[in-house]
Amino acid sequence: MNTVEVAFGPVPSRRLGRSLGINNIPPKICTYSCVYCQLGRTFRMQVDRDAFYDPEEIIRAVEARLSELRRKDEPVDYLTFVPDGEPTLDLNLGQEIELLKQLSIPVAVITNSSLIFREAVREELSQADWVSLKVDAASEPVWRRINRPHKELDLAEIKQGLLEFARTFRGTLASETMLIQGLNEDTAELEKTAKLLAELEPAIAYIAIPMRPPAEAWVKPADEGAVARAYALFSERLPRVELLIGYEGNAFSTIGDAVQDLLSITAVHPMRKQAVQELLARDRAAWEVVRRLLAEGKLVELTYRGERFYLRKLSGRSAG
């Protein structure tokens, strides 16, 4: 095992700043074979945990990468387990987190949540500073169609594990929901997912769409209307909801440029018409800016529950 295989980056992340990735699972070993996975279909599905690498080797690889970065004066905000499979399949995950925390950099884990019904997995994840839980669906048929889980997995057990972990975790809890056209984007399913997330009470709930080629060619990202609908439904129950739709840059700042401000903010938060008007007023700009962005296909106008929303056009879609 070399440094490149196990420690990579840092990768710019809106969630985690400059995130140094840790690949603790050989490709592609997972509990799921998600239809949208950018790594393709899972060729080795398992639910039994295993020791894939020596924890000391992982730590040495991370330390070597950090040493290189320090020489280049490049900062790292998080050490993030984001491997080529499900990180909690690693029997040594808890030990690795414990060792990494000695480096005085926060540790994050991005998990598909499939093994969280196991007490040992919950205990190990609880050592991390930041944990993202995947919740793509709250009903059994939709979960099976999207995530294509190992035959031994049970959604009811996973839900109970999610609730138990959320109740005791003392770090920052995030959730992520991937929206797939025709699968989990209808209002009924979104309401079920929002209800489950409300019980978990994450500090932030992310809504995503596939931005890279998926495992199955028939997979299509949810359209702008579905994204805006999900955002509205989640926001009714959750304190903070954001979109992950692949745009770079600082999506939270206003720089006095109405075009850039609108495009950056609506890439993260669909904006109601009143909010857009207030932003234009602060930037001393006219509504003509919005008309031009709509005409250029960079912004989309949607109506939901009688409210007009504006959302940045999703990447890869033609205007209209």
Q: Is residue 317 part of a domain?
A: no
Are 13 and 138 part of one and the same domain?
Answer: yes
Task: Judge if 146 and 179 occupy the same domain.
Answer: yes
- Considering the domain architecture, whether residues 229 and 113 belong to the same structural domain is answered as yes
Question: Among 244, 266, 295, which residue terminates a domain?
Answer: 244
Q: Is the pLDDT of residue 251 over 90?
A: no
Predicted pLDDT of residue 64: 92
Burial 13-32, CB ≥16 within 10 A → b, else e: bbbbeebbbbbbbbebbbbb
Domain residues for the domain of 98 are: 3-244
pLDDT tens sequence across 168-215: 999 999 999 999 999 999 999 999 999 999 999 999 999 999 877 789
d(CA 69, CA 285): 42
Q: The CATH number of the domain where 52 resides is what? A: 3.20.20.70
Comparing 29 with 11, the larger pLDDT belongs to 29
Nearby residues of 60 by Cβ (< 8 Å), 6 or more positions away: none
Cβ atoms < 10 Å from Cβ of 290: 21
Q: Which of 215, 244, 273 is the last residue in one of the domains?
A: 244
- Is-contact 238 194, C-beta < 8 A? yes
Q: What confidence category does residue 309 fall into, taking pLDDT thresholds of 50, 70 and 90?
A: confident
DSSP the chain: --HHHHEEEEEEETTTEEEEEE--S-TTEESB--TT-TT-S-SEE--S-B--S-HHHHHHHHHHHHHHHHHTT----EEEE--SS-GGGBTTHHHHHHHHGGGSS-EEEEE--TTTTSHHHHHHHTTSSEEEEE-S-SSHHHHHHHH-B-TT--HHHHHHHHHHHHHH--SEEEEEEE-BTTTS-SHHHHHHHHHHHHHH--SEEEEE---S--SSTT--B--HHHHHHHHHHHHHH-S-EEEESS--S-SS---S-HHHHHHHHHTTS-EEHHHHHHHHHHTT--THHHHHHHHTTSEEEEEETTEEEEEEPPTT----
Q: CATH number for the domain including 277?
A: 1.10.10
Q: Is residue 252 part of a domain?
A: no
Query: Is 215 contained in some domain?
Result: yes
Look over the chain and give the mean of its residue pLDDT values, rounded to a whole number.
Answer: 89
**Of 244, 268, 296, which marks where a domain is finished?**
244
| 220-243 per-position pLDDT tens digit | 999 989 999 999 999 999 999 999
**AA identity, residue 319:** A
Domains in the chain: how many in total?
A: 2
Say if residue 279 is in the same domain as residue 166.
Answer: no
Q: Where residue 250 falls among pLDDT bands split at 50, 70, 90? A: very low
